[in-house]
Amino acid sequence: RIVHVNGTYVPEEEARVSVFDRGFLMADGVYEVTSVLGGKLVDFPGHLARLRRSLAELDMASPATDDDLLAIHRELVARNGITDGMVYLQVTRGAPPDRDFAYPNPPVPPTLVLFTQSKPGLADSPMAKTGMTVVSIPDQRWARRDIKTVQLLYPSMGKMMAKAQGADDAWMVEDGVVTEGTSNNAYIVKGNAIITRDLGPHILSGITRAAVLRFARESQMQVEERPFTIEEALTADEAFVTSATTFVMPVVRLDGQPIGAGRPGPVAARLREIYLEESR
């Protein structure tokens, strides 16, 4: 694989990041994941806009212009022959000479790393047919989940808690209501209404979420951006999650109980279809 590090393209074996990098020492970094379908970047402007916002919220310097970031994405897709897959981008506050909690002053250049992952048949995931299972766990992440930081330890632990219970993923619960999945936004469907948590510091503003809610509204579905409980989810007709890597993925069981018919529902299937159509 050819990866990108700070302005240069190198084979992955030759890529180097300092041991003093604040991304490594302090999780002082942000990231984006953009899917590639048929060689095309999906929702790239949205991911770029969210990256800009994450950088601004953390007073982190920009590693490159928008045009350069787009060009690097395209170049990596081409050089690695990616048809279906994803591009991962990470920016950290760089590698100051000493470990210190305070941000380096004067600042050091940010570290920019990008790599690709090939996932042939990404859009035809078998899970879209069977649906996935989730369990509820407490949301023990920090309180600024609207910033897409590389602090992913609790979501990783959440995935392991789900696996330990024989489930695919976890929905996180705070103050009695669902925030989101470990790496996706969470939805339930009741009648003609699609219900998902309202935006704020408690969840990540999903780029897929924005597109899916737009398509839902355009298709005359009713969208309710509000909190919901696990109890309400258990009485829903359908459930699903969205993310750049899973698009729209049906959820068929929650805490061991079937949701609706216990099979992927028509609303999730329709939204997945529209999303994939619009993305190709």
Tell the smallest beta-carbon distance from residue 123 to ligand PDD (Å). Answer: 15
- The reply to whether 183 sits near ligand PDD by the rule CB under 6 A is yes
Tell the smallest beta-carbon distance from residue 178 to ligand PDD (Å). Answer: 12
C-beta closer to ligand PDD: residue 54 or 133 = 54
- The reply to whether 206 sits near ligand PDD by the rule CB under 6 A is yes
Catalytic residue list: 148
DSSP string, 164-210: HTT-SEEEEEETTEEEEESSSEEEEEETTEEEEPPPSTTS---HHHH
- The reply to whether 209 sits near ligand PDD by the rule CB under 6 A is yes
Size of the site for ligand PDD (CB under 6 A): 14
Among positions 207, 216, 259, 274, the unique one binding ligand PDD when judged by CB under 6 A: 207
- The reply to whether 204 sits near ligand PDD by the rule CB under 6 A is yes
Q: Which residues contact 233 (CB under 8 A, 6 or more apart)?
A: 171, 178, 188, 239, 254, 259
User: Segment near ligand PDD (CB under 6 A), from 1-9, 96-104, 182-190, 216-224?
Assistant: 182-190
Provide the residue type at 128 as one letter: A
Q: Per-residue x/- mask for ligand PDD, residues 218 to 257, rule CB under 6 A?
A: ------------------------xxxx------------
C-alpha to C-alpha distance for 237 and 192, rounded to whole angstroms: 10
Sign of CA dihedral 66, 6, 71, 51: negative
DSSP string, 192-261: TEEEEPPPSTTS---HHHHHHHHHHHHTT-EEEES---HHHHHT-SEEEEEETTTEEEEEEEETTEEPTT
- The reply to whether 180 sits near ligand PDD by the rule CB under 6 A is yes
Which residues contact ligand PDD (rule: CB under 6 A)?
33, 180, 183-185, 204, 206-209, 242-245
